[in-house]
Copies of this chain bind each other. A is one copy, B any other.
Amino acid sequence: MKASQFLISTLKEAPSDAEVVSHQLMTRAGMIKKLGAGIYSYMPMGLRVIRKVEAIVREEMNRAGAIEVAMPVVQPAELWQETGRFDKMGPELLRIKDRHERDYVVQPTSEEVVTDIARQEFRSYKQLPKNLYQIQTKFRDERRPRFGLMRGREFTMKDAYSFDRDQDAAKASYQVMAQAYRKIFDRFGLTYRAVAADSGAIGGDLSEEFQVIAATGEDAIVYCPDSDYAANMEKAEALAPQAPRKDASLALVKTLTPGKSTCADVAEYLQLPLQNSVKSLVLATEQTNEQGEIVKTQVWLLLLRGDHSMNEIKVGKVPGLDNGFRFATLEEIDAHFGCLPGYLGPVQTKLPVKLVVDREVAVMSDWVCGANEADYHYTGANWGRDLPEPDLIADLRNIVEGDPSPDGKGLLAIERGIEIGHVFYLGTKYSRAMNATFLDVNGKPQFMEMGCYGIGITRLPAAAIEQNHDARGIIWPDALAPFTVVVCPISPDRSPDVKAAADKLYAELLAAGVDVILDDRGERPGAMFADWELIGVPHRVTVGDKGLKDGQVEYQHRRDAAATKVAVAEVFAFVQSRLGASTGV
């Protein structure tokens, strides 16, 4: 490609609404152009990156035996009504009425349509396993679209769906995808982690997120530097407490803690470690009759160590809380504790509450908690002696840096990530809802076992930039770069030798299948270099009059601090060797 025949459009300033660096740099580098909130045109420079993402994803999906289809962007509501998602999904599902006032949606994902295809196509166990995927435009009407391609409304996703005859086969299909994803993200040259994620109501371990590591990532991910344990914050667990509970050594004392309503304030005021204090959280669950009227409300008290925070996903799995819960109202709290939040505790509640205690709290002794009286806390509280043992003990908390890894192999660390892929075992959730059956070996209908597998095609370049940039701009891995090499002649209009040498190198690289661009725009060197550093082309060769007189040109990788002089005769081979060398980067 010659730059004069392409659309290069760089900006000095990022738009004011660009909060994250990838949004700023993609806009400044002329890769995307905002059309509306969360809606972008992919400009030529950006589209080249997206096409490279698509090509690698497609290649590895095909290699893994998945078969490409394309499902409609605009989908009739009927199938979405079959699974109930037409009503259940919130306003992020973009609903449309056509000219005949019939309901449609713009697809945010395609479980319904692909399951409809499967129930028509896969009649026999002999036709399974099958994995159908598409790379297609999606829309999610986010309440607050932002961060450019990171959380847009219209985006491109690769979504794959596996269909299997039983759970074992489905798990094998899942593993094939999980492996393919590793190959894909390896090829992109990104630093990423596959982390265990919550698998919802289905349970089991068959849910992993692929997270690109970046300090600016929205997600906290937990890993063990000494083992391969990795999970997202929702899912991550610490090793259960190993040491038994110590015996009580202090008496229960009601202590004045005036105006100290947080564990941290109380610990500081009493000069005790925060880890000695216990945090009280009050939840409520409701039982309804067939008319939907509330017939019973149960109040729950959850205890966490003062330095820990509640993990809603884990709490949502506690028996009795697993059908939905809410925080208790002030009235409910007052009725049960005779006190308002800030001084609540499990000792001597006014009305009985269901007591659920984090594993760490269950092994504490001599702890501090609210005394159910304003401005008072207990110190020296102990299980068994001062109050009965808890009703339930469970893992209720988010892990913190330094917690022991659940595999016992070291201490957990936390880093930030950007989710770019997800593999998920669905079980029969959709096949049951849509009656997608096949005939098994015995001729009996069985629900298909499904999995779903997504990659955020348009989000991935943004994640790559969050991970790979500097003050001058983007630094693309070779596999994602809009162009792998840029040849920059200096003032070619004034030096026929420069022009000839640049043209020759360009032609050679092009002929060798290298994705090269020749900057023939006639820009001055400073502006030209600034453009390519902003755009992030990884390999640059500069051809100048001065160097040429010594038979030399300059090579510089985007990460190099300075240029390397290379003999003109050797530059083609030199560049090729650098491309080879950096494929794994």
- Please give me the 9 A-B residue pairs with the lowest Cβ-Cβ distance, nearest first: A91-B99, A36-B76, A42-B70, A44-B67, A39-B72, A41-B71, A99-B141, A96-B96, A73-B137
13 A-B contact pairs sorted by A residue (CB < 8 Å): A5-B65, A7-B130, A35-B79, A36-B78, A41-B69, A41-B71, A73-B73, A73-B106, A74-B94, A74-B154, A91-B99, A94-B96, A106-B106
Chain B residues, CB < 8 A from A44: 67-69, 132
Instruction: Decide yes or no whether A168 CB sits under 8 A from chain B.
Output: no
Contact flags (1/0) for A554-568 with B, using CB distance below 8 Å? 000000000000000
**Are A6 and B76 interface neighbours, CB within 8 A?**
no
Does the CB pair B76–A117 fall under 8 Å?
A: no
Tell me if A139 is interfacial: C-beta within 8 Å of chain B. Answer: yes
Residues of B within 8 A of A67 (CB): 5-7, 44
Interface hub of A69, A120, A154 (most chain B Cβ within 10 A) = A69
**CA–CA, A139 and B99, complex, Å:** 12
Q: Which of B39, B41, B98, B154 contacts A117 (CB 8 A)?
A: B41
Residues of chain B contacted by A305 (CB below 8 angstroms): none
Q: Any chain B CB within 8 A of the CB of A9?
A: yes
A98 to B120, CA, bound (A): 33
Q: What total of chain A residues lie within 8 Å of the partner, measured CB to CB?
A: 49
Q: Is B99's CB under 8 angstroms from A143's CB?
A: yes
**A264 CB–B CB distance under 8 Å:** no
Copy number in the complex reads 2
A126-165 near B? 1/0 per residue, CB < 8 Å: 0000101000010101010000000001100000000000
Q: Are B72 and A35 in contact (CB under 8 A)?
A: yes
A359 CB to nearest chain B CB (Å): 41
Cβ contacts under 8 Å, A154 to chain B:
72-74
**A322: Cβ under 8 A from any B Cβ:** no
Q: Does A43 interact with chain B (Cβ within 8 Å)?
A: yes
Which residues of A27-70 are within 8 A (CB) of B? 33, 35-36, 39-44, 47, 50, 65, 67-70
Q: Is A275 an interface residue (CB 8 A)?
A: no
- Is chain A's interface secondary structure helix, strand, loop, or mixed overall? mixed
Q: Chain B residues with Cβ under 8 A from A104's Cβ?
A: 36
- Which A residues contact B (CB, under 8 angstroms)? 5-7, 9, 33, 35-36, 39-44, 47, 50, 65, 67-76, 78-79, 91-92, 94, 96, 98-99, 104, 106, 113, 116-117, 120-121, 130, 132, 137, 139, 141, 143, 153-154
- Give A96 to B98 CA distance when docked, in angstroms: 9
- Complex alpha-carbon distance, A78 and B37, angstroms: 12
| Contact between B69 and A39, CB atoms less than 8 A apart | no
List of B residues within 8 angstroms of A47 by Cβ = 68-70
How far is it, in angstroms, between the C-alpha of A143 and the C-alpha of B99 when the chains are bound?
8
A554 to B475, CA, bound (A): 55
Q: How far is the CA of A72 from the CA of B94 in the complex (A)?
A: 15
User: If the complex has contacts A41-B117, A96-B96, A117-B33, are A139 and B74 also in contact, measured as CB distance less than 8 A?
Assistant: yes
Chain B residue at minimum C-beta to C-beta distance from A116: B35
Q: With A33-B120, A72-B154, A99-B143 given, can you name 13 additional A-B contacts, CB distance below 8 Å?
A: A5-B65, A7-B69, A7-B132, A35-B71, A36-B75, A36-B76, A36-B78, A39-B76, A41-B117, A43-B69, A73-B154, A74-B94, A92-B99
